[in-house]
Amino acid sequence: MCTTCGCDDAAGPRFTAFGHGAGRGHGHDHDHAEPAPLTVVLEERVLARNDLLAAENRRLLAERDVVAVNLMSSPGSGKTTLLERTVRELATHRSVAVVEGDQETLLDAERIRATGCSVVQINTGEGCHLDAAMLRRGLDELDVAAGSLVFVENVGNLVCPALFDLGESCRVVVMSVTEGADKPAKYPHMFRTADLVLVNKLDLLPYVDFDPDLCTERIHRINPTAQVLLVSATTGEGLAPWYTWLREVEIDD
């Protein structure tokens, strides 16, 4: 049956998957006018839905006096090692929970669970970032206690997570000396929105060609207000200012 006018022609093959579009002729032996397309003005921001959900997350977190830290980095920069150490340090005097994001596996969640901390793993499958809806489900699963500190370990990726507001209290980018000092210049979107940049694997500095001053300068060329801390999650060097920074994060209202 013709999906434009409803006429029927029993003879010949039928292809019903597509309607007749404007400008697409068809071979019936009769005439009928194609409907003129109607322009509908939408003017809607593409990320509006995510931003709305992020605002809802922010409100819920503030209600429960919960600080959420969105940790973003490339794969292998040491986020999970940093979290293992940070959770062990802070969990003695504060309720801490972790939302883990990875494309596949429960490996990171198992490492965090071994510290005794509550954790939920989100596997994004084909997805390359966490979004506000995923964080909401993660938070619901965790049933976070009032006054908690929640770390959200985003999918390892210096590109995509930058665009998605999760409703977090602050954004921390982790990079490592083995990645090179050029990363802030190469991935400016990620570094532009960071409140803090942790330059990790300081223990490997003697073995690599990495200039910490140049790296800090490049970060500040993109984001003049970002704080930069040099740390080693493996040895613990430089982590005291990170713990202080975490204690001072304010909750958005």
Partner 1 sequence: MHELAITQGIVEMIVERTESARVTAVYLRIGKVSGVVPDAVRFCFDLVADGTPVEGARLEIDEPPGRARCRTCGCTFDVEGIVVLCACGSADVEVLGGDELLVRAVEVV
Counting contacts by CB under 8 A, is residue 251 touching partner 1?
no
Q: In this chain, which of 5, 192, 227, 241 binds partner 1, going by CB under 8 A?
A: 192
- Of the two residues 39 and 92, which places its CB atom closer to partner 1 in the complex? 39
Counting contacts by CB under 8 A, is residue 127 touching partner 1?
yes
Give the distance from CA 171 to its chain's centroid: 10
Q: In this chain, which of 90, 160, 205, 249 binds partner 1, going by CB under 8 A?
A: 160
Size of the site for partner 1 (CB under 8 A): 40
- Of the two residues 24 and 88, which places its CB atom closer to partner 1 in the complex? 24
- Of the two residues 119 and 196, which places its CB atom closer to partner 1 in the complex? 196
Query: Which residue reads 């490996």 in tokens?
Result: 107
Counting contacts by CB under 8 A, is residue 131 touching partner 1?
yes
Q: In this chain, which of 59, 221, 236, 243 binds partner 1, going by CB under 8 A?
A: 221
Q: In this chain, which of 6, 19, 27, 206 binds partner 1, going by CB under 8 A?
A: 19
Measured between alpha carbons, how far is 192 from 222 in angstroms, rounded to an integer? 6
Q: Distances from the Cα of 108 to the Cαs of 92, 103, 149, in angstroms?
A: 21, 11, 18
Please state the length of the chain.
253
**Sequential DSSP letters for 191-247:** HHT-SEEEEE-GGGGGGS---HHHHHHHHHHH-TT-EEEE--TTT-TTHHHHHHHHH
- Stretch binding partner 1 (CB under 8 A), from 8-16, 44-52, 76-84, 89-97: 44-52
Q: Are strands 149-153 and 196-200 parallel, antiparallel or unpaired?
A: unpaired
Counting contacts by CB under 8 A, is residue 159 touching partner 1?
yes
Q: How far is the CB of 181 from partner 1 (least distance, A)?
A: 15
Contact present, 226 and 170 (Cβ < 8 Å): no
Counting contacts by CB under 8 A, is residue 33 touching partner 1?
no
3-state secondary structure of 34: coil
Contact present, 246 and 69 (Cβ < 8 Å): yes
Sites of contact with partner 1 (CB under 8 A) = 18-19, 21-22, 34-50, 126-129, 131, 159-160, 162-164, 185, 188-189, 192, 220-224
